[in-house]
Chain A
Amino acid sequence: MDPILFFTQALNGLQFGVMLFLMATGLTLIFGVMNLINLAHGSLYMMGAYFAATLQQKTGSFIWAIILSIPLTVLLGMIVEMLALRRLYNRDHLDQVLATYGLILFFNELVRMVWGPQSYFMALPQFLSHHVQIFSGLTYPVYRLVIIGVGLGVGAGLYGLIHHTRLGMLIRAGASNREMVNALGVNIRFLYTVVFGLGAALAGLAGMLAGPILSVEVGMGEPILILAFVVIVIGGIGSIQGAFFAAVLVGVADTFGRVLLPPGMASMGIYVLMAAVLCWRPEGLFPAQRT
């Protein structure tokens, strides 16, 4: 593989990793704080993409579509949390898996009824549709660079939020000792709703960014959801830092695996990686501290 191709594939891997990070971070946050396995996270990703695609057609602007879709997915996430998921916190994980799987079916059929069974179109915004030359011989699509930038920005923002704000302190406290936080008089119910809204926003954002590249269609969240689970297991469940490094690792490993390994091996690649990491560190790369 010549150096230019190698560098291109590295960027592709990073970009894919960043998309996975946006998905995985919400998933791991919800699991870490609320101890909830949310299979419907992929549905929030899909809803984000549908909201943005619809608003882009209505407003004609990609930027406005994103700005308006984020609060919509937050709202949707909060409503889902209050109506359905709130009842599941004290149930075991099997019940949660069953109920949130039901939500996947619900959202898929809802989308089919509202938007129809055919895929929806979301255009690449004109001002981001060109290529830039990174160095001689290597050009890369601007939009994919923007995705990398947004992902890194979100990562940095989350780091600041978790480590330097009061909400972040409560999230960390909630993740390590739920009962104690409650005993200290924090409205844990409200905290959960907020965290779920934040997770929904991240999933929705991933969907909105994916919309112009991918087919906006029923069930689009499921393939990426599985990978997001792999990421949070490798990164250490509940750890945002872990999700970031694991996402980039999985993104790069998957990209190079796809081009270097024979097809059957390539689809196994990241699962082998996961097994290897778990052998070495059963709690994942960056296990969240619990008491």
Chain B
Amino acid sequence: MKRKGLLGKFFGGLLLALMFSVNSAAVGHAADKVKVGFIATLSGPGASLGTDILDGFRLGLSHCGDKLGGIPVELVTGDDQMRPEVAVQVASRMVERDKVDFVTGIVFSNVMMAVASPILDQGRFLISANAGPSLLAGDQCHPNLFTISWQNDQTHEAMGKYLQDQGIRRVYLMAPDYQAGKDGLTGFKRYFDGEVVAEVYTRVNQPDYAAELAQLRAAKPDAVFVFYPGGMGINFVKQYAQAGLKDEIPLYTTAFTLDQSVLRAMGDAALGLVNASFWSPDLDNPVNKKFVADFKDTHNRLPSLFAAQGYDAALLMDSAVRSAKGQIRDEDKLREGFRKADFQSVRGNFRFNNNHFPVQNFYIRQVIKNEEGILTNKMLGVAFEEHMDAYHKQCPMKW
């Protein structure tokens, strides 16, 4: 009995010492460990994107020597199951129990809207590696929120601009009937002045498009632009080709429909399709070359744009901690570090706008088969240079 009591005291003391050691990493000193919480959809139907972002993020960490700005990093991962209420629980647990310094990941915009305030209100930094809802780019922008990916509308804007430049006059638009679908088509129309023959919204997760494709064929547009991410995109692209429409009416879309993670499931139906993206696997800069080659070696598959975003999120954090000289508890210094974004991204130089969203180029890509016979994207040209999102002027932040 006595021994047990002693042992208990011993452990109690140890615990106390541990608590002090955590507390001692206070303002002014460089921390000895930095904790990162990664929240994404890692199970169920939406798992493919989250897994890709995580794989990219881990590769980024390992290229930084598993350190951020020279401080050893500890990664805590959480699965939001694509449900905002679950994401809020995971976020609270990470902030309150795990005491993470940064949270990153976040695939879906509705999840983003739910977790933003529980994380930001606690003075933590949130680095979105995917979702870029318009609200958070506009008047609800936040000093501790940085989006490494894009604002939701931007990629669609690039395709609108491209079709406008191509002199295409009559387009047929399709998207799922939810916020991201409507934002996508709004973005497209922002830069396209021609005639919109029809704007069709389909049920979310609708598997079969035979009825809509028959209507589309009858409308005889010059071109079709769609936003169908993930599985919906696979269904749509396969059925578009199977209906014989691919050779009849050109189909244009974005990288969300034709990213690397879905091309294999589409097969030759995707070959030759043109899409817009902020990134392409063949972007010619040293960081991107290293990223693509090492990702391929590690995971035995080509990276998608989502993996690229995850990778850049790690590099951004590394640069921010380094700029803040390791003082991760000093919010202002750390924010300065993030704003500086002093790192070479997979897109080359990188900079943030006043609303903490990227100012970046958008490219037009085409699906090809590479030397090994694998479907992938190749750059065709530039749609926008140094493109700013449409909402940054509504954001009151100035720096």
Residue A241 at the chain B interface, CB threshold 8 Å: no
Contact: A112 with B47, CB < 8 Å? yes
Contact: B231 with A109, CB < 8 Å? no
Given A109-B43, A215-B232, A263-B202, 5 more A-B residue pairs with CB atoms under 8 Å apart are A15-B210, A117-B51, A124-B242, A139-B244, A144-B210
* Cα–Cα, bound, A258→B201 (Å): 10
Contacting A at CB under 8 A, from B250-269, are 261-262, 264-267
A123 CB contacts on chain B under 8 angstroms: 267
A143 CB contacts on chain B under 8 angstroms: 242
Contact: B211 with A213, CB < 8 Å? no
0/1 interface trace, chain B 216-242, chain A, CB 8 Å (1 if under): 001000000000001110110011001
Contact: A259 with B207, CB < 8 Å? no
Number of interface residues of B (CB under 8 A): 37
B48 CB contacts on chain A under 8 angstroms: 117-119
| Given A109-B43, A123-B267: A118 in contact with B212 (beta carbons within 8 A) | no
Residue of A nearest to B42 (CB): A117
Chain B nearest CB: distance from A115 CB in Å? 11
Residue of A nearest to B205 (CB): A223
Contact: A217 with B231, CB < 8 Å? yes
Residue B215 at the chain A interface, CB threshold 8 Å: yes
Residue B177 at the chain A interface, CB threshold 8 Å: yes
B-to-A contact residues, CB < 8 Å: 43-45, 47-48, 51, 177, 200-203, 205-208, 210-212, 214-215, 218, 230-232, 234-235, 238-239, 242-244, 261-262, 264-267
Contact: A218 with B212, CB < 8 Å? no
| Given A123-B267, A258-B212, A259-B212: A266 in contact with B203 (beta carbons within 8 A) | yes
Contact: A263 with B201, CB < 8 Å? yes
Contact: B238 with A120, CB < 8 Å? no
Residue A61 at the chain B interface, CB threshold 8 Å: no
* Cα–Cα, bound, A13→B212 (Å): 12
Residue A290 at the chain B interface, CB threshold 8 Å: no
Contact: A213 with B206, CB < 8 Å? no
A sample of 25 inter-chain contacts (CB < 8 A) reads A12-B211, A12-B214, A16-B208, A19-B208, A108-B43, A109-B43, A112-B43, A118-B48, A119-B234, A119-B262, A120-B265, A124-B242, A131-B244, A210-B207, A214-B235, A214-B238, A215-B235, A217-B234, A218-B47, A223-B206, A258-B202, A258-B212, A259-B211, A263-B202, A264-B177
Chain B nearest CB: distance from A176 CB in Å? 35
Chain A nearest CB: distance from B125 CB in Å? 28
0/1 interface trace, chain A 1-37, chain B, CB 8 Å (1 if under): 0100100110011011001000000000000000000
B211 CB contacts on chain A under 8 angstroms: 9, 12-13, 255-256, 258-259
Chain A nearest CB: distance from B181 CB in Å? 10
Partner of A218, one of B45, B177, B201, B203: B45
Partner of A214, one of B43, B202, B208, B212: B208
Chain B nearest CB: distance from A34 CB in Å? 28
A-to-B contact residues, CB < 8 Å: 2, 5, 8-9, 12-13, 15-16, 19, 108-109, 112, 117-121, 123-124, 129, 131, 139, 141, 143-144, 210, 212-220, 222-224, 255-256, 258-259, 263-264, 266-267
Chain B nearest CB: distance from A203 CB in Å? 15
B43 CB contacts on chain A under 8 angstroms: 108-109, 112
Chain A nearest CB: distance from B132 CB in Å? 22
Contact: B231 with A215, CB < 8 Å? yes
Residue of B nearest to A267 (CB): B203
Residue of A nearest to B51 (CB): A117
Contact: A118 with B44, CB < 8 Å? no
Contact: A108 with B44, CB < 8 Å? yes
Q: For chain B, what secondary structure do more than half of its interface residues adopt (helix, strand, loop), or is it mixed?
A: helix
Contact: B207 with A214, CB < 8 Å? yes
* Cα–Cα, bound, A184→B211 (Å): 51
Chain B nearest CB: distance from A137 CB in Å? 11
* Cα–Cα, bound, A26→B210 (Å): 25
* Cα–Cα, bound, A259→B205 (Å): 17
Chain B nearest CB: distance from A62 CB in Å? 14
Q: For chain A, what secondary structure do more than half of its interface residues adopt (helix, strand, loop), or is it mixed?
A: helix
B207 CB contacts on chain A under 8 angstroms: 210, 214, 220, 223-224
Chain A nearest CB: distance from B150 CB in Å? 22
* Cα–Cα, bound, A210→B242 (Å): 13
Contact: A220 with B177, CB < 8 Å? no
A108 CB contacts on chain B under 8 angstroms: 43-45
B202 CB contacts on chain A under 8 angstroms: 258, 263
| Given A124-B242, A129-B242, A213-B242: A218 in contact with B44 (beta carbons within 8 A) | yes
Chain A nearest CB: distance from B356 CB in Å? 30
Partner of A118, one of B200, B210, B262: B262
Partner of A263, one of B177, B214, B238, B264: B177
| 5 tightest A-B CB contacts, nearest first | A219-B45, A215-B234, A119-B265, A117-B47, A12-B210
Partner of A259, one of B215, B231, B235, B239: B215
B261 CB contacts on chain A under 8 angstroms: 118
Chain A nearest CB: distance from B352 CB in Å? 31
Chain B nearest CB: distance from A128 CB in Å? 10
A129 CB contacts on chain B under 8 angstroms: 242
Question: Which one of B45, B206, B208, B244 has the highest number of Cβ atoms from chain A below 10 Å of its Cβ?
Answer: B208
Contact: B264 with A121, CB < 8 Å? yes
B235 CB contacts on chain A under 8 angstroms: 213-215
Contact: B47 with A121, CB < 8 Å? no
Chain B nearest CB: distance from A259 CB in Å? 5
Contact: A119 with B231, CB < 8 Å? yes
Residue of A nearest to B43 (CB): A109
Residue of B nearest to A218 (CB): B45
Chain B nearest CB: distance from A7 CB in Å? 10
| Given A112-B47, A119-B48, A217-B45: A141 in contact with B208 (beta carbons within 8 A) | no
Residue of B nearest to A109 (CB): B43
Contact: A219 with B44, CB < 8 Å? yes
Chain B nearest CB: distance from A56 CB in Å? 12
